[in-house]
């Protein structure tokens, strides 16, 4: 599958594609860890109550 998709991306993205298809980057398991790190560094702020409800709704639709 990776070889089929490589042709649609520039050369500098090929290594990222390999990582995506070969480990947890493609499974969504990395997303919570990235968010946790961004929160710790102050890049993201904790969600307000209304944002929490909205985020949960989006996750339920996507999931």
Instruction: Decide if pLDDT at 42 tops 90.
Output: yes
What are the distances in angstroms from CA 1 to CA 5, 7, 29? 6, 11, 20
Q: What is the mean pLDDT of the chain?
A: 77
41 pLDDT band, cuts 50/70/90, is very high
Phi, psi for residue 40 in degrees, rounded to 5: -60, -35
- The answer to whether the pTM exceeds 0.85 is no
Mean per-residue pLDDT, 30-41: 84
């Amino acid at each position: 599958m990776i070889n089929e998709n490589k042709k649609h991306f520039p050369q500098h993205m090929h290594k990222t594609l390999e990582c995506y298809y070969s480990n947890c980057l493609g499974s969504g398991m990395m997303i919570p860890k990235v968010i946790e790190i961004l929160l710790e560094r102050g890049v993201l702020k904790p969600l307000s109550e209304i944002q929490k409800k909205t985020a949960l709704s989006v996750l339920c639709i996507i999931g």
